[in-house]
Amino acid sequence: MRNIIGSPVEGDSFFDRPAETARLRRDLDTDGKVLLTAPRRVGKTSLVLRVCELERKAGTKAAFLNVEGCGDELGFAEKLLQSLGQAGLHAELGERALGLLRKARQTIGGVKVAADGIDMELGAPEDSDHRSLSRALESVFRKIEDSDATVLIAIDELPEFLVNLSRKEEGPERVRRLLHWLRSLRQTYRTRLRWIFLGSVGLDAFVEERDLGKTVNDLAVHTLDALRTEEAHEFLSRLGASNGLPLSEPVRNEILAQLGWALPHHLQLMFHTLRDLGISPINVASVSTARERLLSPDQVRHFDTWRQRLNEQLTPDHAEAARGLLGALSSDPQGRTRSQLLAVLMASRPGADPGAVEDLLSSLLLRLQRDGYLLESDGRYAFRSFLLREFWHRREIR
């Protein structure tokens, strides 16, 4: 198991989560289409890559695609076809669809994606099967449905792509069309096809905010958590053993106590920092030294995405309110009650309508819990990760 930080892990470096992979495959079997939700860095991408691998061994053709960087619907379609090809579905792809896509890309200056989005014309009006982008793709799905292969399509970072798309010309309408089209695709071709949607922005939160909830309400929601304590011990033991730096049980306990939340990413980060200390064997005191290093300004990049994401996903006003709540909570390991947090928000909005501020608080608390910032327990809200809490405190308060 290699010490990998940030990129999805595969092969021997993947710490196996057999219960999780089995549960996800079971949900796929029962429902056929799954929305995998979890905070970022819990290991969604890695887990789904493993599920794809297991499904391939069981005879399924599994296509995994990350659509984050797709510029528009054409890019999305190309990526989809490309990954179906890589999954071994060459015969089903149809040269015609691919050729038309390629031609459309070449003349993209002249072809207007704009309002039609996924229904954009492909310049072949005489050929009803390939008249538009959506139809050309459907012709491929029809062939898959007529074949005897089971096909799994896992789409990573769809919301990221949709956020970018929504900011383009006619963006909201294009997003709406794409989501509706994907839903009808899932409804129409459901004998052979299975779907997993995942991403670092929750698709559920994305559609709710835009009143598009019904475009994903056919998906079975499957959640993934960070590691349980025993798993986290095993994770650390394995990392230590494979990298020549064994971690004793007291050291592992100390790491988990300092992290507060056994996020695989943070375990890897902590191990990396411990290794960099150059001490062997590692003792309990080394863990605090490593933690200080992790929180030093030159390590900020590991946590700063948590700050940036707020700005990317929320309106400036809501992002500021969220920062206000997190700032207050970062000084308070015990957490705060809802009414204390309401007071924090009210203080920053003198004269605001209390009902509206309460609504804002509810929606922010929901969001911050979903995204892994906060945990509610016995009516108190607190940072889930002690590491993130301390980062926040140093960055925003101290």
Ligand X SMILES: Nc1ncnc2c1ncn2[C@@H]1O[C@H](COP(=O)(O)OP(=O)(O)O)[C@@H](O)[C@H]1O
Q: Residue 236 contacts by C-beta under 8 Å, 6 or more apart in sequence?
A: 247, 252, 255, 267, 271
Q: Name which of 6 and 379 has its Cβ closer to ligand X.
A: 6
Minimum Å gap between C-beta 303 and Mg ion is 17
Residue 102 per-residue DSSP state: H
Q: How far is the CA of 288 from the CAs of 15, 271, 291, 359, 388, in angstroms? A: 25, 12, 5, 40, 15
42 binds ligand X (CB under 6 A): yes
# chain residues binding ligand X, by CB under 6 A: 21
Only segment of 39-47, 111-119, 335-343, 352-360 that touches ligand X (CB under 6 A): 39-47
Only segment of 22-30, 36-44, 159-167, 277-285 that touches ligand X (CB under 6 A): 36-44
Exposure b/e, 87-115, CB count within 10 A at least 16 = b: bebeebbbebbbebbeebeeeeeebebee
Binding string, 186-205, against ligand X, x = CB under 6 A? --------------x-----
37 binds Mg ion (CB under 5 A): no
Residues 43-102 interacting with ligand X (rule: CB under 6 A): 43-46
One-letter amino acid at 375 equals L
Give the residue ranges of DSSP H helices in 153-248. Answer: 158-166, 171-188, 203-209, 229-242
Only segment of 7-15, 318-326, 355-363, 364-372 that touches ligand X (CB under 6 A): 7-15
Minimum Å gap between C-beta 28 and ligand X is 18
Among 182, 238, 206, 135, which Cα is nearest to 371's?
Answer: 206
- The side-by-side arrangement of strands in the sheet containing 380-383 is 336-337, 380-383, 374-377
Only segment of 24-32, 38-46, 122-130, 179-187 that touches ligand X (CB under 6 A): 38-46
CB neighbour class for 358 (10 Å; exposed up to 12, middle 13-18, buried from 19): middle
Rounded CA-CA distance 247/275 in Å is: 11
Residue 54 has φ and ψ, to the nearest 5°, of: -65, -40
Q: Which of 21, 37, 45, 313 binds Mg ion (CB under 5 A)?
A: 45
Q: Name which of 127 and 234 has its Cβ closer to ligand X.
A: 234
Among 36, 33, 20, which Cα is nearest to 203's?
Answer: 36
Only segment of 41-49, 92-100, 283-291, 389-397 that touches Mg ion (CB under 5 A): 41-49
Q: Name which of 141 and 271 has its Cβ closer to ligand X.
A: 271
Q: Name which of 154 and 178 has its Cβ closer to ligand X.
A: 154
- The side-by-side arrangement of strands in the sheet containing 151-156 is 61-66, 151-156, 193-198, 33-37, 220-223
Q: Which of 33, 41, 130, 384 binds ligand X (CB under 6 A)?
A: 41
Choose the contact partner of 141 out of ligand X, Mg ion, none; CB within 5 to 8 A by kind.
none
Choose the contact partner of 221 out of ligand X, Mg ion, none; CB within 5 to 8 A by kind.
none
Only segment of 5-13, 68-76, 135-143, 362-370 that touches ligand X (CB under 6 A): 5-13
Residues β-bridged to residue 376: 381
Q: Name which of 154 and 207 has its Cβ closer to Mg ion.
A: 154
Q: Name which of 46 and 83 has its Cβ closer to ligand X.
A: 46
Can you give the binding site for Mg ion, defined by CB under 5 A? Answer: 45
Write out the residues near ligand X by the rule CB under 6 A. 4-9, 14-15, 17, 38, 40-46, 200, 264-265, 268
